Amino acid sequence: MNVFLITPPFTQLNTPYPATPYLKGFLNTKGINSMQADLGMDVILKLFSVEGLTEMFNIDIDHSQASDNANRIFSLRNEYISTIGPIIAFLQDQDVSLAYQICSGNYLPNASRFDQLADMEFAFGIMGIRDKARHLATLYLEDISDYIIELIDPFFGFSRYAERLGRSAHSFDELYEHLTQAPSFIDHMLFSLLEKYFQKSIPDLLAISVPFPGNLYCAFRCGQWVKLHYPQTKICMGGGFANTELRSLKDVRVFEFFDFITLDDGEAPILHLIEHIEGKRPIDFLKRTFTLLEDKVQYFNGSMAPDYKQKDVGTPDYEGLNLKQYLSVIEVTNPMHRLWSDGRWNKLTLAHGCYWGQCTFCDITLDYIVNYEFTTAQMLVDRMEELILQTGERGFHFVDEAAPPALMKEIAIEILRRKLTITWWTNIRFEKSFTSDLCRLLSLSGCIAISGGLEVASDRLLKLIKKGVTVGQVAKVAQNFTQSGIMVHSYLMYGFPTQNEQETIDSLEVVRQLFEAGVVQSGFWHQFALTAHSPVGKNPAEYNVRLITEEIGTFANNDLEFEDLTGCDHELFSGGLKKSLFNFMNGICFEYELQEWFDFEIPETTIQPDHIQNILEADESRNLSGNKRVLFTGILPSSESLDTGNMLLLFHTKSETFEIELEHQQGLWLSEVISKAANYNETLSILHLRESYDFAGLKDFDEFWIGEEMEAIRSIGLLVV
């Protein structure tokens, strides 16, 4: 059995989407041969090449109706063709010396994307020359993209293609109509790449992962081409889009392009499909699989086999994906925001599903949320070490719905125990368990950033959402991360049912204060979308919502049209919210009145101007509960007995040296404690310390523990987590 796993255009430029490496890693554990390809990256590299741009600019187009910008790019076409090869190599980190030419201002052709440079020049002062060059090179690519969208293919986008056709597509009609039309310039590039892969090896099964609506059209084009040229190959589709949108699929035309569509975790369904294709499993005993039988779309889920546990799915395998070909681009200069497009990240999941699983806007009834399962820190770090050897990359992006704090702590300890150098970031909930000490531990293990949902930034609405956090809690946790050197990105929402104008403006003021205080560095506003699998979608009346979408479509069914009966026009606020946030992310315009961001009258905010600052200035209490673990992450001190009878402890850090003088018995006790706390294989708790302190005949443990000497030692690595 030969399996070909592909991700259709387009997802990210800087790193592969993890679905096919996950599946390939699983198939390895079953001894099943598979190959994989990121067709999005393949198309980008084919298009943005000397040959690709030459072919594109040679397309016969009437430029008389084109914009001035498009005509300028066309006039400079030879400049683009001559520079595209070096620019792609530079963004692949193959020719870093080109940064000097790029920044000279005389190398790159400039079109409309460069108009923003006058407004963003302040950012370049804090960016290195390579970063500045990558940002300029990104604008250069975006100029070419603008030309493509205007004159070649309106569906094009670097991280999505024909997204509109896949979004809220209750009917298959519009997408099907486009698929019956002549292939586009991009389509032909896609087909030529598929042909090269199939000439090397004709697979028995082509498995297409469709994570987003922006991958859907090209997935169908891939299926269409394979059906025409290699009808013996079976084709299946899975991934995030199918899992959320195609659960009630009925349109038989879909199976002109695919033989099977699977839902939820892909390991067991794809293994069952392979067994079915090999004649070893009856169709009735497939797992969560749609297919066409007797001219009807039928769903088969008769398998009694359970899904595979996280410990049994294997380590993701990136073989076949040329990681050196990916492009690190800088679309936005904000250091946190750029992580999604800059750097090469090995993707891993700490835990399957969401341990919280209550947010009312979320698809909490679906498998990828509701079925929570974690594995051990030891196994996860084992897999990280395997991936480092395989890819040569030490950067990790944990793509969890919400990484569990307790597991994050254990992973951090395991990384430190093994003395690994790793850089990582992930998505979290702003749990109060993220204390200052835990955040410092995560930072020491290599955590550089987290993203999490503040959402509506209103305590009333956070309660309605069942987010399980408050604005004050988010602010304090964000401060703990930031003070530990970990950047914070906040997902922001407007338009949640029953939200009124006042709450929207108050939310903006909260966000303004968080950015001004420097505890949040990046954010993104999105308007609430109602989905069929969320509590709001299932019980709209409870949230004062009236569904406009009443009938279930025959194709995609997740996003629902609705009316918020409170009557607030949330769309009005979109522009002002996003414009203000762009400026806040760049550290400016905090002094502006909120009214200046809107071209219509808004209410005055009811949030006090020092609301967030007062929260941040409140002391975080020292938790002396017995079950907290004590760790020392610094360099062990040396000791010296003094003539006075006291003991001197000498501490060295990477940047300074300082000493602490203690009564001799207390110094002996502390030296022993620090030595044990520095041993990651030994579990030392506050209770153990308290008992040993008393046993040593010392008095007033609590007073000593929160005293000046211990505060100094905490500052260099004594943590209670």
The tens digit of pLDDT for each residue in 395-439 reads 999 999 999 999 999 999 999 999 999 999 999 999 999 999 999
For residue 352, report the phi and psi dihedrals to the nearest 5 degrees: -80, 135
Q: Which pLDDT score, from 0 to 100, does residue 477 have?
A: 97
Q: Which residues pair with 347 in a beta bridge?
A: 397
> Quick one: angle between helices 471-483 and 436-444, nearest 10?
40
Q: Which pLDDT score, from 0 to 100, does residue 160 have?
A: 83
CA distance 464 to 452: 18
> Is beta strand 562-564 parallel, antiparallel or unpaired with respect to 646-652?
unpaired
Q: Which pLDDT score, from 0 to 100, does residue 74 have?
A: 97
DSSP label of 537: H
**Better pLDDT: 271 or 374:** 271
> Is beta strand 346-348 parallel, antiparallel or unpaired with respect to 296-300?
unpaired
**Closest to 259 (Cα-Cα) out of 244, 243, 230:** 230
DSSP string, 231-289: TTSEEEEESHHHHHH-TT---GGGGGT-SEEE-S-SHHHHHHHHHHHTTSS-GGG-SSE
In tens, the pLDDT along 341-354 reads: 998 999 999 999 99
Residue 121: is its pLDDT beyond 70? no
Residue 239: is its pLDDT beyond 60? yes
Residue 331 CA to its chain's centroid (Å): 16
**Average pLDDT value for the chain:** 93
Neighbours of 54 (CB within 10 A): 14
Residue 177: is its pLDDT beyond 60? yes
- Whether omega for the bond prior to residue 57 falls within 30 degrees of 0, making it cis, is no
Residue 167: is its pLDDT beyond 80? no
Query: Domain spans of the chain?
Result: 2-303, 347-617, 630-720
Residue 127: is its pLDDT beyond 70? no
Residue 524: is its pLDDT beyond 60? yes
User: What number is the average pLDDT over the span 641-661?
Assistant: 90
Residue 229: is its pLDDT beyond 90? yes
pLDDT bracket for residue 623 (50, 70, 90): low
Q: Which pLDDT score, from 0 to 100, does residue 347 have?
A: 95
In tens, the pLDDT along 250-308 reads: 999 999 999 999 999 999 999 999 999 999 999 999 999 999 999 999 999 999 999 99
User: What number is the average pLDDT over the span 491-496?
Assistant: 96
CA distance 559 to 170: 9
In tens, the pLDDT along 354-368 reads: 999 999 999 998 988
Instruction: Specify the residue for token string 């019980």.
Output: 539
pLDDT bracket for residue 169 (50, 70, 90): confident
Q: Which pLDDT score, from 0 to 100, does residue 123 have?
A: 54
Say if CB 422 and CB 394 are below 8 A apart.
Answer: yes
Residue type at 479? Q
CA distance 325 to 15: 9
DSSP label of 31: T
Q: Indicate the class that CATH gives domain 347-617.
A: alpha beta
Q: Which pLDDT score, from 0 to 100, does residue 116 have?
A: 74
Q: What is the pTM of this model?
A: 0.94
Q: Which pLDDT score, from 0 to 100, does residue 163 have?
A: 81
Residue 334: is its pLDDT beyond 90? no
Q: Which pLDDT score, from 0 to 100, does residue 558 have?
A: 86
pLDDT bracket for residue 166 (50, 70, 90): confident
Residue 120: is its pLDDT beyond 60? no
Q: Which pLDDT score, from 0 to 100, does residue 382 have?
A: 97
Q: What proportion of the chain, given as a percentage, has pLDDT over 90?
A: 83
Neighbours of 309 (CB within 10 A): 11
Lowest mean pLDDT among 37-41, 158-162, 606-610: 158-162
Residue 414 CA to its chain's centroid (Å): 23
Token pair of 399, please?
């793509």
DSSP string, 137-205: HHHHHHHHHHHIIIII-TT--TT-SSHHHHTT-SSSHHHHHHHTSPP-HHHHHHHHHHHHHHHH---SE
In the sheet with 657-663, reading across from the earlier edge strand, the strands are 638-641, 646-652, 657-663
Query: Within 418-550, where are the H helices?
Result: 436-444, 459-465, 471-483, 501-516, 535-538
**Closest to 37 (Cα-Cα) out of 319, 355, 300, 276:** 319
Lowest mean pLDDT among 22-36, 124-138, 527-541: 124-138
Lowest mean pLDDT among 190-194, 465-469, 713-717: 713-717
pLDDT bracket for residue 453 (50, 70, 90): very high
